[in-house]
Amino acid sequence: MVAPLITALAVLGGLGSFTTVRELAEPHFKGLAWIVPVGMDLGILILLAWDLLMEYLDLPWPVLRWVAWAYVGGTVLVNVSAARGQLAGSVMYAAMPVLFITVVEGVRHLIRRWVGLASGRRMERVPAARWLLAPVSSLLLWRRMVLWHVTAYQDGLGLEYRHLLAVSRLQEEYGRWAWRWDAPLAERLSLRRLPTDGDADDLESASSPGAGEDELLGAARRIRRQARRQGVRFTRDYLGDQLRDMGYPVANTRVRRLLAVLRDDSAQGGEA
């Protein structure tokens, strides 16, 4: 609805100044004088349309607008000079170009608000190279940026990294797939909220290699001694069950590593 009105306004403005500019250009261009008003009006439209497109793509180049304004100013001066100093004529000649520029600036502001440039809410795109090299993870990254309205691509990468850290910690504690069912509901729901910087520090410290290994290894050695005193077969399942009963939510992969360390101790003649 707005675009046809703007086009009509531009056409009326061009027709209004066409005759005046052509008459002033005839002494210099003879029969081709009509090229001057057509070229100026068409150039103004092209420059302003190009400027609006660059604004929409978040690639603004103010030179386009400045040159268009300069052409509009030149058209106004030419038309005002044709009024021969009459105030009413000068105002009428200048009214149409000023109105057109005002409408174009309104459209520019509308575009900036629409795509989030004026309010700083425009979402950065995920680079095409990342889509090509990692399409699935790029889709998940884009989805989280949209859901949490993360506008900066680097912030989106940080959010994705924290999510992966949280998932890896749950996999370490409850198993690669079992964490989806065995992990407490509160920890699973925490993956669906927007993490903070404090969450990232906690996750990194909790997920760092060797976190709590000494304490866990000591508990495993006590369980092995107890099993030998009671004559119970010391297996991976037994060790895992005992550790979990003691309050250590360990995954089977971690239990296997502990069992391998204990066997190395026995092979080297260490603590039995």
pLDDT digits (tens, 9 = 90+) for 197-214: 545 444 444 444 344 677
Give me 57's structure tokens. 């793509």
- Name the one residue in this structure whose structure tokens are 């989805």: 143
User: What percentage of residues in the chain have a pLDDT greater than 70?
Assistant: 74
pLDDT-based confidence at residue 225 (cuts at 50, 70, 90): confident
Looking at residue 122, its pLDDT comes to 62
pLDDT digits (tens, 9 = 90+) for 245-260: 887 777 666 777 788 7
- Mean pLDDT to the nearest integer, 149-174: 79
- Mean pLDDT to the nearest integer, 90-101: 71
The three-point CA angle 40-88-25 to 5° equals 30
pTM over 0.75, yes/no:
no
- Mean pLDDT to the nearest integer, 66-93: 77
Looking at residue 159, its pLDDT comes to 80
Nearest Cα to Cα of residue 17 among 64, 86, 71: 71
CA distance 243 to 236: 11
Residue 209 Cα distances to 62, 112, 160, angstroms: 52, 47, 20
